[in-house]
Amino acid sequence: MRRREFITLLGGAAVTWPLAARAQQPERIRRIGFLRAAPPPERELNAFLSALAEHGYVQGQNFVMVQQWGDGNVAQLPELAVALKNEGVDIIVAEGTIVVQAAAAAAPTVPIVFVGAADPFAGGLVKSLSHPGGNVTGFSSRDIEIAGKAFEILKEMVPGLMRIAVLATRRIWSLFSATQDQAATTLGVELSYIDMPRPEAAGVAMQQAIAEGAQGALVRGGPFFSAVQRRLIIDSAAEFRLPVMYERRDDAARGGLLSYSADHIELYRATAGYVARILRGENAADLPVQQPTKFELVINLKTAKALGLEIPPSLLARANEVIE
């Protein structure tokens, strides 16, 4: 072999070997941050992890989940968000409008995918549904839009219902009050806004609701309650014999009277799809905010019987799940 040919061949190999070596290097372990005011229900977390695996991301193999879950105290969220950002996460998943706002303030350059935000536009989180334009996108819950439907169902459930108590923190009121007031006026019912700063205050809040003449109640702030706190609220409703509607299917399964909301299992699965797309290089600014089309009405017959309520057959027929 001539010297010139040998040098040429050697040079080509020098280019080829590093490329082959790089191709064989394992994929970098990604860090998926998860910010929430309280730990998510097990069903929803499992749905999220299962959907991620279907998209090629398996926990412990090519990603680790870095979580910052609070105890339901909204005031902790900014601190939790900063702690999560400091963990060097590649992306953040956040549930609830207030939680997303905390994540966006702490990590303005980290992609954020929200699951179940009631108001995606709050605080300028996104510019438009079709083109969010920043580092935030995801899936809304449409809870604000379906407020009227929730009141309508509760009115159908409770004969003679004329006043509904809305139990929530004052900050959550600011998200829902205008739409809920309009929906109540349309249905011919009155609203009482009862401050429930913590689930531990559920008993006091329900006593106040009853004192103000409420025949039924709607609890707002589902993403901020742990399983133990949910139990406190459900037990308080049973103690004061107040018909209460919830935002999560799990609350009805635990003994709450009924729930009506977007299908959160589907929201979590869809969120996993966006997380996978962003980790593979797509830009959050270009992924449209999507809205749920599937909603769940869950009724607990045992609780209805304990409250002396006879559920109309038409309402039972519309229920996605009836718990006996």
The answer to whether the beta carbons of residues 248 and 222 sit under 8 Å apart is yes
Do 248 and 258 fall into the same domain?
Answer: yes
**Non-local CB neighbours of 179 within 8 Å, separated by 6+ positions:** 144, 145, 147, 148
pLDDT tens by residue, 255-286: 999 999 999 999 999 999 999 999 999 999 99
Do 132 and 152 fall into the same domain?
Answer: no
Do 70 and 216 fall into the same domain?
Answer: no
pLDDT > 90 in the chain, percent: 67
Could you tell me the two tokens for 208?
């106040």
Do 313 and 288 fall into the same domain?
Answer: no
pLDDT tens by residue, 8-27: 333 444 444 444 444 445 57
Could you tell me the two tokens for 65?
């989940």
> How many domains is the chain built from?
2
Structural domain for 268, as ranges: 30-141+264-293
11 inside domain = no
In 191-308, alpha helices (H): 202-211, 227-239, 249-253, 264-279, 301-306
253 inside domain = yes
pLDDT tens by residue, 35-48: 999 888 899 999 99
Query: Max CA-CA distance within the chain?
Result: 101
pLDDT at residue 178, as a whole number: 80
Do 224 and 280 fall into the same domain?
Answer: no
273 inside domain = yes
pLDDT at residue 285, as a whole number: 96
The answer to whether the beta carbons of residues 40 and 95 sit under 8 Å apart is yes
Pick left, alpha or beta for residue 88 (phi over 0 → left; psi -120 to 50 → alpha; otherwise beta).
left
Q: What is the pTM of this model?
A: 0.86
22 inside domain = no
174 inside domain = yes
* Average pLDDT across the chain, whole number: 88
Do 151 and 90 fall into the same domain?
Answer: no
Backbone phi and psi for residue 299, each to the nearest 5 degrees, phi listed first? -120, 135
pLDDT at residue 26, as a whole number: 59
pLDDT at residue 10, as a whole number: 37
Q: Element (H or E) spanning 114, and its range?
A: strand 112-117
Do 180 and 231 fall into the same domain?
Answer: yes
pLDDT at residue 25, as a whole number: 52
Do 44 and 151 fall into the same domain?
Answer: no
Cα 165 to the center of its chain, rounded Å: 23
Pick left, alpha or beta for residue 124 (phi over 0 → left; psi -120 to 50 → alpha; otherwise beta).
left
3 inside domain = no
| pLDDT higher than threshold 90 for residue 223 | no
**Out of 106-110, 117-121, 170-174, 232-236, least confident range:** 170-174
The answer to whether the beta carbons of residues 150 and 218 sit under 8 Å apart is yes
Q: Element (H or E) spanning 147, and its range?
A: helix 147-157
| pLDDT higher than threshold 90 for residue 146 | no
> Mean pLDDT throughout 281-296?
94
Angle, alpha carbons 42-144-85 (nearest 5°): 50
The answer to whether the beta carbons of residues 38 and 223 sit under 8 Å apart is yes
pLDDT at residue 69, as a whole number: 93
| pLDDT higher than threshold 50 for residue 1 | no
| CATH number assigned to the domain comprising residue 160 | 3.40.50.2300
5 inside domain = no
pLDDT at residue 218, as a whole number: 94
How does DSSP assign 173-200, residue by residue? Answer: HHHHHHHHHHHHHHHT-EEEEEE-SSGG
Do 122 and 173 fall into the same domain?
Answer: no
25 inside domain = no
Do 311 and 182 fall into the same domain?
Answer: yes
pLDDT tens by residue, 180-211: 888 889 889 999 999 888 888 889 999 999 99
Do 127 and 168 fall into the same domain?
Answer: no
Do 49 and 71 fall into the same domain?
Answer: yes
